[in-house]
Chain A
């Protein structure tokens, strides 16, 4: 009880800070300097229609690299933790599990290619339309989730996932370094031609990077899910 009271008092204190922030907040009437720069210069400098994508992949590319790394780290750690407890695996046999059901089996076969395709579409078009590598990657991973639901004991994909994850990450870093070597700086997208504004193959390296991010995020989510599903087996 005392604890709740203290918690409440602390939250109230925090609430006062929040209130000060909220009441003191006045929405901008015009874009600030940074945003205005992005609004006017993105088309020339980056060649991406989606300004948010330009910011994520190029202007603030280092953030995004870090963000991808957070996922990579988490996947690695989750894998490590779960693999530790998996030692001494008394693997269950297929017959122990209830069958997935016809609907799910057929549905999976039908949907997985479509989902994968859609995911790829989302990340490849990231510089043109809403969406991008993270969203696309999450979609890819949902296909893997569907496959896992159908066949929880499927193991074959494990190494492949890890390969994809690491090589996508490595290429991402390599592209970054190429940017520093060939263009204006680390992660500069102009190592490839900017192309025609609004076209699929435009905005320099952005589609490549977003494809790598998509693959990587998809792989990471998948590897976490695979790890989790394997622990559930016990």
Chain B
């Protein structure tokens, strides 16, 4: 179960990076990276997952005394939230770039932006 989730995550990362490396269109690259980011997030949460346990909320169902044996690892859950938000921020920044790049050159082809080199 965990391995399947994790495999899914890794496959998504690979697809995302492959897409970002082979698509010349900037918007496609950005989309590809969001796919990869999603994959990373899946891997993140799957690392904390434990079979047969429940969400880390100490309500009536999970009294404090039993918590250590009943809940899954809460840390990856906290991390993934941060990672999602940061990924979102970077994506928004990339989009802003795409906007400006298009504004300057009228093109979204990454190979058109090669005037700085060597």
Contact = CB atoms under 8 A, between A and B. Distances in A.
A11 interface: yes
B82 A27 contact: no
What are the 3 tightest A-B residue pairs by CB atom distance, in nearest-first order?
Answer: A70-B89, A51-B56, A55-B78
Contacts of B22: 3-4, 7
B89 A10 contact: no
B71 A39 contact: yes
A71 interface: yes
A36 B67 CA distance: 8
16 contacts: A7-B18, A7-B21, A11-B14, A25-B6, A35-B48, A40-B68, A50-B56, A52-B81, A55-B74, A55-B78, A67-B86, A71-B88, A73-B89, A74-B90, A85-B103, A130-B55
Interface string B62-77: 0010011101011101
Contacts of A14: 14, 17
A193 B66 CA distance: 25
Given A39-B68, A70-B89, 13 more contacts: A7-B18, A22-B10, A25-B3, A32-B73, A38-B75, A50-B56, A66-B82, A74-B96, A77-B93, A78-B93, A85-B99, A85-B100, A224-B92
Given A56-B81, A129-B57, A31 B73 contact: yes
A73 B78 CA distance: 21
A77 B68 contact: no
A7 B22 CA distance: 7
B116 interface: no
Nearest to B55: A130
A82 interface: yes
Interface of B is mostly: helix
Interface in A6-21: 7-8, 10-11, 14-15, 18, 21
Interface of A: 3-4, 7-8, 10-11, 14-15, 18, 21-22, 25, 27-32, 34-36, 38-40, 42-43, 49-52, 55-56, 60, 63-64, 66-67, 70-71, 73-74, 77-78, 81-82, 85, 128-130, 132, 134, 198, 224, 231
Contact of A22 (B6, B50, B64): B6
Interface of B: 2-3, 6-7, 10, 13-14, 17-18, 21-22, 47-51, 55-59, 64, 67-69, 71, 73-75, 77-79, 81-82, 85-86, 88-90, 92-93, 95-96, 99-100, 103
Contacts of B75: 34-35, 38, 55
B10 A134 contact: no
B22 to A, nearest CB: 5
B10 A28 contact: no
Nearest to A80: B96
